[in-house]
Structure 1
Amino acid sequence: MELNLKGRVALITGSGSGIGRDTAFKLAEEGCMVVVSDINADTAHQTAEDLRSAGHSAMAVVCDVTKEEEVAHLVSRAQQYGGIDILVNNAGIVKDGYLTKMTEQAWDSVVDIILKGAFLCSRAVLPQMMEKRWGRVINISSRSLFGNPGQTNYSAGKAGLVGFTRALAQEQGRYGITVNAVAPGFIMTPGMRNLPHFSKLQEAATAKVPVGFLGEPRDISNAVAFLASDVARYISGTTVFVTGGRYSG
């Protein structure tokens, strides 16, 4: 299937590692010029360098997506490529704990990166998308939107991202802009594989997945690339669950 993304400019937040990094490579392979953004300078620059070494066009911009001035700088830097066509709001963190023991800082930092980050980045790139009358905003939610014990902050943020997606899709459709979300299930990122209890975690998670195996970052990046393309031009305001058939539980 031809996705026809050559020449598009894609900005992926939180793309120094994990799903974001894989998404950067997938969109680059489809012909996009990629703006790698991460709060971690080392991983951001390494990802961009790896992309360039593979023959792709890429730049790295260090950014805290909860800071308006840093997001403005990020979008300004992307103008070197001619403006952003595809925004992937992927930045997020986890700070798990039961609510009765959760600090205000743990709540604020998780919810702000997920929701405020998507708000600031989307607001910053939409005017240029509206002017072009073409754009894609893809928000990385999670199966956790259904609720996980010990993740009230993360689940609230990821569920809120679905409401954000639906509302923004209704606002922007008339400008040729689609807005969708991708909700990953258990994905075996390098960080996940490095957990000391990974084997037990993998066994327990696999038992709950109807297809019988766990996802890889490419399963998410493939969904993102599809939604970014004109093949998916009539899909907007929806959430694509990439979970192997697992929803709650």
Structure 2
Amino acid sequence: MNFTKKQLNITFLGTGTSQGIPMIASNDPVCLSKNLKDKRLRSSILISWDDVSYTVDCGLDFRQQMLRENVQSLNGVFFTHEHADHIGGLDDLRAFCYQIGEMPIYLLERTLLSLEKRFDYIFSVENRYPGAPSVLPKLVHKTSFNVAGLKVTPIEVLHGKLPIIAYRFGDFAYLTDVKTVSDEEKLKLKDLDVLVINALRIEAHPTHFNLQEALNFIAEIKPKKAYLTHISHKLGFHDEVSKILPKNVFLAYDGLKITV
């Protein structure tokens, strides 16, 4: 299938780690910052092209994010993995399901099994709750697929030892919760206009890139631009960290909008 280049509109719905910033019960200076760019909801993006809109993940802050951005319609969700900060807003898809009926959700089989267990009232055939959102699971494998005329390429990465999925949409790629990427999967990231990658903190972490690892990865992949996301308060203040980044690398922040 031939794909024409699409203009992609990206909104960073959240750029924080699993606990967000400010973190509950923390007196860390970053958590006390008055700068709105230091206040981060759980990580997710809204991606739109032509007349369709999708999110990557719908976490625990999904409802708040949809209201803040005044999102009036949604055509589906791409899930990276089954941790709570990436799937906790599943029930709030119901408002959009009222508009379109079944909501397509793209995900690994393991992630689907986790959702079926944690949200049994949505997936149960016999005991399905009448008001629950209606979702249409679409299993993701290693091969690219077409969504509304856009080529979508799954990229398998490791979140510690857990295999999860990142996504390339045209010349834009979104990778979060990454610690390791194989050489084979790196080939799928050639010639990117924009790469979004996680950078949790300054110190090393067992399941996430720290800042230096993220910068090394960006230098290896060589996108035209890169944005850092899935950030904890231990990375530091937004304005201070921004000053030390390479000229083509930026800290994302909640509400940031870019066009690719």
TM interval, short-chain normalised: 0.3 to 0.5
Q: Which has the higher strand share?
A: 2
More helix by share: 1
- Per the normalisation by structure 2, the TM-score is 0.35
Q: What's the TM-score once normalised by structure 1's chain length?
A: 0.36
